[in-house]
Structure 1
Amino acid sequence: MDVEQLTGVDAPCFHDRSGRRYPLDGSRWRGDDGGPLAVSPLPGLAPGQIVTAERSLWRYHAALPVPFARRVSLGEGCTPMVPLDWGGLRVHFKLEWFNPTSSFKDRGVSVMMSHLAAHGADRVLEDSSGNAGAAVAAYAAAAGIRARIVVPAATSAAKILQARACGAEIELVGGARDEVADEAVRQSARIPYASHNWHPMFIQGTKTVAYEMWESLGFTAPDNVVLVAGAGSNVIACDLAFGELLAAGRIDRRPRLFVGQPEHWATIADTLNGVDGAARGARVPTIAEGASIARPVRLPEAVEAVRRSGGAACAVPEAAIHAAVRALSSRGLYAEPTSAVAAAALDHFVASGEIAADETTVVVLTGAGLKSAEAMAAVFAAAPLDHVVAPEPGGAR
Structure 2
Amino acid sequence: MTHALPGYVCPEDETRADVRTAPWCCPVCGGPWDLDFTPDPASPLAPDAGPPSLWRYGGALPLPGAFSVTMSEGRTPLVPLGERIHAKLDFLMPTLSFKDRGAVMLAELARRLGPERVVADSSGNAGTAIAAYCARAGLTCEVFVPEGTSAKKTDQMRAHGAAVRVVPGGREAAALAARAEADLPGVFYASHVFNPYFLHGTKTYVYEVWEELGGRLPDALVLPVGNGTLLLGAALAVRELARRGVRPPQLIAVQAEAVAPLASAFASGAQDAAPVPELPTLAEGIAIPAPPRARQILAAVRASGGTFLTVPEPALRAAQRDLARRGLFVEPTAAACWAAVGPLSPADPLKGRTAVVPLCGAGAKAGLPE
Residue 306 (1) aligns with residue 273 (2): no
Which amino acid in the other structure matches residue 280 of structure 2? P
> Is the contact made by 1:26 and 1:121 (CA closer than 8 Å) also made in structure 2?
no
Q: Provide structure 2 residue ranges, at least 5 long, that are not aligned to the other structure.
A: none
* Preserved contact between residue 44 and residue 241 of structure 1 (Cα < 8 Å): no
Shift of 1:279: 12
Offset of residue 230 of structure 1? 1.1
Match of 2:199 among 184, 196, 203: 203
- Residue 70 of structure 1 and its aligned partner are, at CA, apart by 2.6
1:356 and 2:348 aligned? no
Counterparts of 2:258 and 2:268, CA distance in 1: 15
> How far apart are residue 13 of structure 1 and its match?
2.4
1:243 deviates by 0.2
Distance 1:48 1:128, change over 3 A: closer
Question: Are 1:370 and 2:364 counterparts?
Answer: yes
Q: Deviations over 1:309-332 (max 9, x none)?
A: 111112211111111111111111
Q: Distance in 2 between matches of 1:142 and 1:203?
A: 20
Alpha-carbon offset, residue 351 of structure 1: 5.2
Does residue 64 of the first structure (1) align with residue 61 of the second (2)?
yes
| CA deviations over 1:78-110 (Å, ceiling 9, x no partner) | 11111122xxx4311001111110000000010
The 1-side partners of 2:284 and 2:172 are apart by: 12
Name 1:260's counterpart in structure 2.
254
Runs of 4+ deviating beyond 6 Å: 275-281
Matched, 1:74 2:71: yes
1:153 aligns with 2:147: yes
Change beyond 3 A, Cα 1:20–1:313: same
Deviation, 1:289, is: 1.1
Residue by residue over 1:236-294, the C-alpha shift from the partner in whole angstroms, topping out at 9 and shown as x without a partner, is: 111111101112x231x321111111112111111111189999995421111111111
Correspondence for 2:108: 114
Letter in 2 for 1:130: G
Q: Distance in 1 between matches of 2:226 and 2:97?
A: 14
Name the structure 2 match of 1:338. Answer: 333
Match of 1:273 in 2: 267
- Which of the numbers 21, 26, 38 marks the counterpart of 1:42? 38
SS at match of 1:69: coil
Deviation at 1:222, TM superposition (A): 1.2
Q: Measured at CA, do residues 95 and 44 of structure 1 come closer, stay the same or move farther in structure 2, by a change above 3 Å?
A: farther
Query: What is the CA–CA distance in structure 2 between the aligned matches of 1:279 and 1:28, rounded to whole Å?
Result: 26
Kindly state the Cα deviation for residue 352 of structure 1 after the two structures are TM-superposed: 4.4
Read off the aligned partner of 1:128 and give its amino acid letter: S
Quote the Cα distance in structure 1 between the aligned partners of 2:237 and 2:200: 9
Contact 2:192 2:198 in 1 (8 A): yes
In the alignment, which of 8, 13, 18 is matched to residue 14 of structure 1?
A: 8
Q: Match of 2:248, SS?
A: coil
The structure carrying a bigger helix percent of its residues is 1
Tell me the alpha carbon deviations over residues 315-361 of structure 1, each in whole angstroms, 9 at most, x when there is no partner. Answer: 2111111111111111111010010111112149975444133x321
Distance 2:168 2:214 in 1: 47
Alpha-carbon distance change, 119 to 338 in structure 1, aligned in 2, over 3 angstroms: same
Please report how far the alpha carbon of residue 179 of structure 1 lies from its aligned counterpart in structure 2 after TM superposition: 1.3
**Residue 286 to residue 48, structure 1, CA distance change in 2 (3 Å):** closer
> What code does the residue aligned with 2:227 have?
A
- What CA distance in whole angstroms lies between the structure 2 residues aligned with 1:310 and 1:246? 15
Over the aligned positions, Cα root-mean-square deviation in angstroms equals 2.4
Task: Give the % identical residues.
Answer: 40
Residue in 2 that maps onto 1:193: 189
Question: Aligned equivalents of 1:79 and 1:360: distance in 2?
Answer: 19
The 5-angstrom pairing of residues 222-261 of structure 1 reads: 222-247=218-243, 249-251=244-246, 253-261=247-255
Q: AA paired with 1:216?
A: E
Letter in 2 for 1:328: L
TM-score, L = length of structure 2: 0.92
SS at match of 1:265: coil
Q: 1:255 to 1:169 in 2, by over 3 A?
A: same
TM-score (norm 1): 0.86
Letter in 1 for 2:351: A
Instruction: Tell me, in whole angstroms, the C-alpha distance in 2 between the residues paired with 1:26 and 1:79.
Output: 35
Q: Structure 1, unaligned stretches of length 5 or more? A: 1-5, 382-397
